[in-house]
C-alpha cells in the first residue's frame, strides 16, 4: 500500500520551515496606520466640509438623528477617500440571519457615453440599497413574490476598506429589512434594543436626580479560536464541511497538563497573530490581548471594549480577518464551538456594561449616591436574568454551541449569576438588614453609606459561571465562538430595559423618602431573585439538582432552548420595547430551527459517508489480511502468533460488524428521524470509529489524528 494522504500531510507540515526572527526588525508603524482603513475622524475631517463633518460625527458619537441633506456630500467624500485607498467598488455590508455577513458589490464606474466613463457614488447609493434577498433566510417574513430586501446605512459604524489582491472595496455597514420593514438581520433589533435600554435608563436616572445624559452600552468580546494546519484540514471532510471533527479518538495527552494556557506562543502562530492585528488596527479595531487558550492549538484574541454596535461589527470583522489570515498562513481557523471532542470548546465571552454620561454604572462608586445607583443597576440586571433566563439562553442556541452548553463542559446551560464574595456579602447585608461583614460596621444604608472599595478580581473568578460580575462589568460566557454577539446583546439590553422600567414603576408608586424606599425596594428584589445567584461549581451534578429545586430553567439543547421564542409573554415583552415584533420572533424561531436541523443532518451525512467510504475499506482490508494470515498459519501448523492474530481479528471483525450496524442506524435516522435521533446515532457511530482508530494500523488510518491536528503546527 502506498503511503497514505495523512502521512503525506504530516510530512508536509513537518517540512514547513520554522520562522526565524527577521534579521532586521522594522520600526513599528501601527501608531501611524491605526484606523486608516476606516472612514473615521481623520478621514472625515479631510474629505468633508467642517459643518458636514460635525453633523456626521454627532451621529456616530452621540447617535444624533441623521440629517439626510448631508448624504450627498458624505457619499462623495467617502468615494474620494475610498478611491484613494484603491477601492473600485462599494458594497452595503450587513448581517443577515445566516450568522455571517453579506455583501453585493457595485463599481463606482459608470458609463457616460460610448467610450467614456465616470466614477459615481451618490447620497442615495450611500443611504439605501435594494438587494434581491430571496436566498437569505427570512423565516417566512418575506414571501417569494416579494423577494426584495432593503439595506439602510448605519452611520454609527464607520465605513471601511476591505482589501484584496487586485484592489479594494468600500464597505458600508447597513441594517437589512424586508419591504414591510421587518428586520431580517442582527443589527436592526440590536439598534432598537439599545434605544429601549437608553430610554429606560434615562427614566430611572431621573429618580436619582441625575440630569439627562447620553447612554452608552459597551461590549468587549473575547474571541476564542483553533488553528489547524491546512494540510490536515484538507484531509478531514468533516472539518471542511461542518467545522468540527465528527470522529477522532482522544490522544493520550491533550490538555491535562494545563501546559498550553498562557504558554509561550509558537513563532508560526505569532506571525499569524501579528498579521491579524495589523489588519485590525488599520480598520480601527482595538485588538489588545492575544494568548494561548486552554486546549492545545486554541487561542484567544480580545479587543478593548467599545460602543456595543461598533463592537459587534468589529467582532464580525475579527472573525473574517482570522479566517482570511489563517488561510494565507497555511492554517485553517476554526470558529466552531466544539471542533474537537474531549478538549475545551470555543466561546465568545461578552463583557457588557452601561455608561451614563460617560460614567460606567457597573463600577462601584466613590460616594453614597453612586453606590446607590450601582446597586440598583446591579439588582435590575439580576432581576432581568432571573425572570428572562430563557430568552438569554435562546440567544445562545445552535448546533455548535450545544456541545458546550448542556454538553460536558462549561458553562452549563443553566443561567446563574456569580457576584463574588464581597458583593455577595453586600447583597446579604441589604437583604437581611444586618451589618456588612467587610465594613465591620453598622447595617448598610443605601444612598447614605459608602461601600468601601470592592477589590476587583480578588475572589475566585469562578470560570464555571455563565454570567459573572467581574468588577465593573458582567461577563456573559455562554455565547459560542461563531455566533454574532448581537443576538445575545439584543436580548440582554431588552430584558434589562424591562427591569429598569419595573424599578421605575415601583419607585413611582412609593411616596416619601427616596433612600428609604430604595432600600426597601432593593431588599425585596434580592429576596425575590436571589435564587439566580450561585457561587459554587456550575459543572457539578449537585448544581443541576439544586437549580431544578430553585426552579431555574435548564434547556440543554437547541430544540428546547429556542422554544421560548414562541412564548406569547416573551413576544409581548419584545414587542412592547419595540425590539422584535411577534412575527419577527416567530421568524427567528423558524430560522433557528431550520438551521439547526440542516446542520445536524449535514453532520450526519458527513459521518455516514466518512464511515463507509474512508474507514470501512481500511478496516475490511486489514481484517481480510489477518484472516488470510490466520488460515495460512493454520495450514502451515505454526505454533506461535496465531493466538495474537486471532485475538486481533476478533476485535477488528467485531468492530467491522459494529460499524455496519451503526451506519445502518444512522442511515435510518437520517431518513426518518429528527435531530435528536440523528445526534444519538452519530454519537454511537463515533464511539465505534474511535475504538477502531486504536486498532487499525496507524500507517493506514486515513484521517489526521487528534495528536497530529492539535500538536503539529
Residue 304 near which of Mg ion, ligand ADP, none (CB within 5-8 Å, type-dependent)? ligand ADP
Residue 90 in grid coordinates = 462599494
Cite the DSSP H helix spans in 141-300. Answer: 187-207, 230-233, 237-242, 267-282
Report CA 467 to chain centroid distance, whole Å. Answer: 15
What gap in Å lies between CA 689 and CA 610, rounded to an integer? 10
- Minimum CB separation of residue 411 from Mg ion in Å reads 14
CB of 100 to ligand ADP, least distance (A): 22
Q: What angle do CA 68, 70, 73 make, to 5 degrees?
A: 135
- DSSP label at residue 615: I
> Which residues make beta-bridge pairs with 216?
355
Residue 623 binding target from Mg ion, ligand ADP, none, CB below 5 to 8 Å by type: none
Which residue lies nearer to Mg ion by CB, 222 or 307? Answer: 222
* Smallest separation, CB 488 to ligand ADP (Å): 14
**Least distance in angstroms from the C-beta of 291 to ligand ADP:** 8
Residues 6+ apart with CB under 8 A from 480: 337, 345, 346, 347, 348, 396, 398, 400, 401, 404
CA distance 595 to 440: 55
Q: Which cell numbers in the block locate residue 523? A: 431588599
90 forms bridges with which residues in the sheet? Answer: 106, 170
Residue 473, classed as helix, strand or coil, is coil
Containing 113, the helix (H) or strand (E) segment is strand 109-113
The nearer residue to ligand ADP, 99 or 303, going by C-beta atoms, is: 303
Kindly identify the residues of this chain, within the stretch 290-349, that bind ligand ADP according to CB under 6 A.
302-305, 349
**Residue 420 contacts which entry, ligand ADP, Mg ion, none (Cβ below 5-8 A, type-dependent):** none
Q: Which does 218 bind (CB under 5 to 8 A by kind): ligand ADP, Mg ion, none?
A: ligand ADP
User: Of 90 and 352, which CB lies nearer to ligand ADP in the complex structure?
Assistant: 352
Nearer to ligand ADP, 91 or 488 (CB): 488
Q: How far apart are CA 221 and CA 230, in angstroms?
A: 27
By DSSP bridging, strand 128-132 and strand 148-153 are antiparallel
Q: How far is the CB of 681 from ligand ADP (least distance, A)?
A: 37
Query: Residues in the site for Mg ion, rule: CB under 5 A?
Result: 222
Partner interacting with residue 473 (select from Mg ion, ligand ADP, none; CB below 5-8 Å by kind) = ligand ADP
Nearest distance, CB of residue 94 and ligand ADP, angstroms: 24
Contact 187, 311 (CB under 8 A): no
The three cell numbers locating residue 338: 466544539
Task: Return the number of the residue (106 or 472) whose C-beta is nearest ligand ADP.
Answer: 472
List alpha helices for 530-674, DSSP H: 541-550, 558-561, 568-576, 582-610, 616-635, 642-672
Residue nearest ligand ADP by beta-carbon distance: 220
- Residue 353 binds which of Mg ion, ligand ADP, none (CB < 5-8 A, kind-dependent): ligand ADP
Interacting residues with ligand ADP between 222 and 281 (CB under 6 A): 222
Residue 55 CA to residue 48 CA, distance in Å, equals 10
Could you say which of ligand ADP, Mg ion, none residue 434 binds, taking C-beta under 5 to 8 angstroms by partner kind?
Answer: none
Using CB under 6 A, which of the segments 12-20, 159-167, 470-478, 662-670 binds ligand ADP? 470-478
CB nearer to ligand ADP: give 218 or 558. Answer: 218
Length of the chain: 713
Partner whose binding site includes residue 360, from Mg ion, ligand ADP, none (CB under 5 to 8 Å by kind):
ligand ADP
Q: With respect to ligand ADP, which residue has the nearer C-beta, 43 or 375?
A: 375
Residue closer to ligand ADP by CB (options 290, 660) is 290
Is residue 289 part of the contact set for ligand ADP (CB under 6 A)?
Answer: yes
Q: Which of 472, 523, 544, 554 binds ligand ADP (CB under 6 A)?
A: 472
User: Quick one: which segment of 122-130, 472-480, 603-611, 613-621 binds ligand ADP (CB under 6 A)?
Assistant: 472-480
Q: Are 553 and 393 in contact (CB under 8 A)?
A: yes
186 lies in the site for ligand ADP, by CB under 6 A = no
- Say if CB 708 and CB 340 are below 8 A apart: no
The helix (H) or strand (E) run that includes residue 75 is helix 71-84
List own/partner pairs for 507-516 with CB under 8 A and 24 or more apart: 507/204, 507/207, 514/207, 514/447, 515/372, 515/445, 515/446, 515/447, 515/448
351 binds ligand ADP, rule: CB under 6 A: yes
For position 565 contacting ligand ADP by CB under 6 A, the verdict is no
- Indicate whether 473 belongs to the interface with ligand ADP (CB under 6 A): yes
User: To the nearest whole angstrom, how small is the minimum distance from the Cβ of residue 316 to ligand ADP?
Assistant: 16
State in angstroms the smallest separation of the CB of 687 from ligand ADP.
35
Residue 710: name the closest of 276, 399, 272, 294 by CA: 294
User: Where do contacts with ligand ADP occur on this chain (CB under 6 A)?
Assistant: 218-220, 222, 289, 302-305, 349, 351-353, 360, 472-473, 475
Amino acid at each position: 500500500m502506498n503511503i497514505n494522504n495523512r502521512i503525506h500531510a504530516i510530512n508536509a507540515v513537518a517540512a514547513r520551515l520554522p520562522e526565524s526572527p527577521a534579521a532586521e526588525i522594522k520600526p513599528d508603524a501601527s501608531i501611524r496606520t491605526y484606523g486608516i482603513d476606516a472612514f473615521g475622524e481623520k478621514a472625515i475631517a479631510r474629505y468633508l466640509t467642517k459643518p458636514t463633518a460635525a453633523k456626521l460625527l454627532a451621529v456616530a458619537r452621540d447617535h444624533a438623528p441623521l440629517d439626510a441633506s448631508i448624504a450627498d456630500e458624505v457619499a462623495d467624500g467617502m468615494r474620494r477617500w475610498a478611491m484613494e485607498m484603491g477601492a473600485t467598488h462599494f458594497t452595503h455590508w450587513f448581517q443577515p440571519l445566516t450568522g455571517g455577513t453579506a455583501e453585493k458589490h457595485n463599481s463606482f464606474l459608470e458609463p457616460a457615453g460610448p467610450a467614456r466613463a465616470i466614477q459615481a457614488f451618490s447620497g442615495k447609493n450611500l443611504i439605501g440599497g435594494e438587494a434581491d434577498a430571496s436566498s437569505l433566510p427570512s423565516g417566512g417574513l418575506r414571501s417569494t413574490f416579494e423577494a426584495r430586501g432593503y439595506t439602510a446605512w448605519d452611520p454609527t459604524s464607520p465605513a471601511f476598506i476591505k482589501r484584496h489582491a487586485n484592489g479594494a472595496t468600500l464597505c458600508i455597514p447597513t441594517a437589512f429589512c424586508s419591504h414591510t420593514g421587518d428586520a431580517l438581520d442582527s443589527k436592526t433589533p440590536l439598534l432598537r434594543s439599545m434605544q429601549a435600554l437608553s430610554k429606560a435608563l434615562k427614566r430611572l436616572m431621573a429618580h436619582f436626580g441625575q440630569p439627562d445624559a447620553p447612554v452608552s452600552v459597551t461590549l468587549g468580546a473575547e474571541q476564542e479560536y483553533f488553528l489547524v494546519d491546512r494540510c490536515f484540514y484538507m484531509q478531514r471532510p468533516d472539518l471542511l464541511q461542518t467545522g468540527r471533527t465528527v470522529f477522532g479518538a482522544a490522544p493520550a495527552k491533550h490538555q491535562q497538563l494545563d501546559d498550553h494556557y498562557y504558554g509561550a506562543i509558537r513563532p508560526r502562530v505569532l506571525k499569524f497573530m501579528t498579521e491579524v492585528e495589523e489588519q485590525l488596527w488599520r480598520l480601527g479595531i482595538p485588538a489588545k490581548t492575544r494568548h494561548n487558550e486552554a486546549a492545545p492549538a486554541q487561542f484567544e484574541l480580545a479587543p478593548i471594549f467599545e460602543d456595543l454596535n461598533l463592537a459587534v461589527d468589529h467582532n464580525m470583522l475579527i472573525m473574517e480577518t482570522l479566517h482570511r489570515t489563517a488561510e494565507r498562513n497555511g492554517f485553517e481557523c476554526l470558529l466552531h464551538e466544539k471542533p474537537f471532542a474531549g478538549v475545551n470548546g470555543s466561546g465568545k465571552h461578552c463583557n457588557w456594561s452601561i455608561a451614563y454620561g460617560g460614567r460606567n454604572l457597573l463600577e462601584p462608586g466613590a460616594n453614597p449616591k453612586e453606590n446607590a445607583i450601582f446597586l440598583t443597576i446591579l439588582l435590575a440586571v439580576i432581576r432581568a436574568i432571573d425572570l428572562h433566563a430563557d430568552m438569554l439562553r435562546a440567544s445562545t442556541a445552535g448546533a455548535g454551541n450545544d456541545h458546550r452548553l448542556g454538553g460536558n463542559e462549561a458553562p452549563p446551560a443553566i443561567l446563574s449569576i456569580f457576584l463574588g464574595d464581597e458583593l455577595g456579602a453586600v447583597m446579604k447585608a441589604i437583604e437581611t438588614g444586618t451589618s456588612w461583614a467587610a465594613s465591620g460596621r453598622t447595617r448598610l444604608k443605601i444612598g447614605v453609606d459608602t461601600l468601601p472599595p470592592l477589590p476587583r478580581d480578588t475572589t475566585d473568578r469562578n470560570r464555571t459561571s455563565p454570567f459573572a460580575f467581574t468588577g465593573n462589568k458582567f461577563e456573559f460566557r455562554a455565547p459560542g465562538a461563531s455566533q454574532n454577539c448581537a443576538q445575545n446583546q439584543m436580548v440582554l439590553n431588552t430584558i434589562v430595559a424591562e427591569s429598569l422600567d419595573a424599578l421605575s414603576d415601583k419607585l413611582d408608586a412609593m411616596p416619601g423618602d427616596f433612600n428609604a424606599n430604595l432600600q426597601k425596594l432593593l431588599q425585596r428584589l434580592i429576596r425575590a431573585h436571589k435564587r439566580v445567584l450561585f457561587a459554587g461549581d456550575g459543572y457539578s451534578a449537585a448544581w443541576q439538582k439544586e437549580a431544578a429545586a430553585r426552579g431555574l430553567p435548564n434547556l440543554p439543547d437547541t430544540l428546547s432552548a429556542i422554544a421560548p421564542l414562541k412564548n406569547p409573554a416573551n413576544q409581548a415583552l419584545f414587542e412592547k420595547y419595540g425590539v422584535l415584533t411577534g412575527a419577527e420572533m416567530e421568524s427567528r424561531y423558524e430560522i433557528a430551527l431550520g438551521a439547526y436541523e440542516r446542520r445536524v443532518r449535514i453532520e450526519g451525512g458527513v459521518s455516514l459517508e466518512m464511515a463507509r467510504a474512508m474507514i470501512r475499506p481500511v478496516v475490511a482490508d486489514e481484517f481480510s489480511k489477518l484472516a488470510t494470515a490466520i488460515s495460512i498459519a493454520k495450514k502451515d501448523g505454526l505454533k506461535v502468533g496465531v493466538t495474537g492474530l486471532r485475538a486481533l481479528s476478533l476485535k477488528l471483525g467485531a468492530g467491522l460488524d459494529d460499524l455496519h450496524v451503526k451506519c445502518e442506524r444512522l442511515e435510518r435516522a437520517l431518513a426518518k428521524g429528527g435531530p435528536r435521533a440523528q445526534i444519538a446515532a452519530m454519537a454511537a457511530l463515533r464511539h465505534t470509529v474511535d475504538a477502531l482508530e486504536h486498532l487499525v494500523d496507524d500507517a493506514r488510518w486515513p484521517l489526521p489524528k487528534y495528536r497530529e491536528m492539535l500538536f503539529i503546527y
